[in-house]
Copies of this chain bind each other. A is one copy, B any other.
């Protein structure tokens, strides 16, 4: 029996499994979709990774990640573009449905956030041509404002969609509830994203109270305060019916548990806390 509508971002079990082991462990629990990270692909080898994914008929809801555009000089900017083009190649090789972009923050030593945001927009515009040639959708992931300096200076869905609309086709958004749940404009911007057919991925986890670490203390769905079903309902009403992808960074809890327990809990919580009882038809 397969668990329809659930994907596992392999960061969730990165301490427990190699790519091959993760695929086996997912299939053992009926999970047929994954989203790997580039370091996991690299550790396995791209050709082997593609073979593992293909032979097991795994759906790949995204490759994490491209992005990280801002740099202190032209050589750094050019290196970022080159690296993003390689990420597009890898996403194509594993038949990913999108390449997720975590766009990067301030260049070292800079306090100029508007300039960093320009570098990001320029960088995305540059790689978009290559992405289109290769039919690989780019999914900008707006990150929580607490990462504006060091990880991503695109921090709201509104800001993301403004960029998408400037750039045209072939680009959209990965909506991760952890990053956007707090936004007073969330529901309006989900509707806008759907109207523009920009929703390319939907990531889930939970916001814990208290949150003990800015990066590595994400919660399992149901253990925190995010209204997961309401957000999912809005996303489905906006026309996106794709999988919900569990992405949990948890150095002190889930990364220390057996992978089988983690995946089993993902399935249980997905079914009880995230999946809608009734499909939203939008009628």
Taking beta carbons and an 8 Å cutoff, which residues of A are in contact with B? 106, 110-113, 117, 144-146, 148-150, 153, 155-156, 158-159, 181-184, 207, 209-211, 214, 225-227
B209 with A149: CB separation less than 8 A: yes
| Partner of A150 from B144, B159, B210, B226 at Cβ < 8 Å | B210
Min CB distance A151 to B, Å, is 11
By a CB distance below 8 angstroms, the chain B residues around A184 are 117, 155-156, 158-159
Min CB distance A108 to B, Å, is 10
B225 with A182: CB separation less than 8 A: no
Min CB distance A140 to B, Å, is 13
By a CB distance below 8 angstroms, the chain B residues around A207 are 149
Min CB distance A174 to B, Å, is 18
29 A-B pairs whose Cβ atoms sit less than 8 Å apart in the complex = A106-B225, A110-B225, A111-B225, A111-B226, A112-B227, A113-B182, A113-B227, A117-B184, A144-B146, A145-B145, A145-B146, A145-B183, A146-B146, A146-B182, A146-B211, A146-B214, A148-B181, A148-B182, A149-B182, A149-B207, A150-B209, A150-B210, A155-B183, A155-B184, A158-B184, A159-B184, A210-B214, A211-B214, A214-B214
How far is B225's CA from A149's CA once the two chains are assembled, in angstroms? 7
Min CB distance A264 to B, Å, is 24
The 6 closest A-B pairs by CB, nearest first: A148-B182, A145-B182, A111-B227, A159-B184, A149-B225, A146-B146
Across the two chains, which residue of chain B brings its CB closest to A179?
B145
By a CB distance below 8 angstroms, the chain B residues around A155 are 182-184
Min CB distance A205 to B, Å, is 14
Q: A149-B225, A156-B184, A214-B214 are in contact. List 11 more A-B contacts (CB 8 A).
A: A111-B227, A113-B182, A144-B146, A145-B145, A145-B146, A146-B211, A146-B214, A148-B182, A150-B210, A159-B184, A211-B214
How far is B155's CA from A70's CA once the two chains are assembled, in angstroms? 26
By a CB distance below 8 angstroms, the chain B residues around A112 are 227
Min CB distance A204 to B, Å, is 14
By a CB distance below 8 angstroms, the chain B residues around A153 are 182
By a CB distance below 8 angstroms, the chain B residues around A209 are 149-150
Min CB distance A26 to B, Å, is 28
By a CB distance below 8 angstroms, the chain B residues around A117 are 184
By a CB distance below 8 angstroms, the chain B residues around A145 are 144-146, 182-183
By a CB distance below 8 angstroms, the chain B residues around A110 are 225
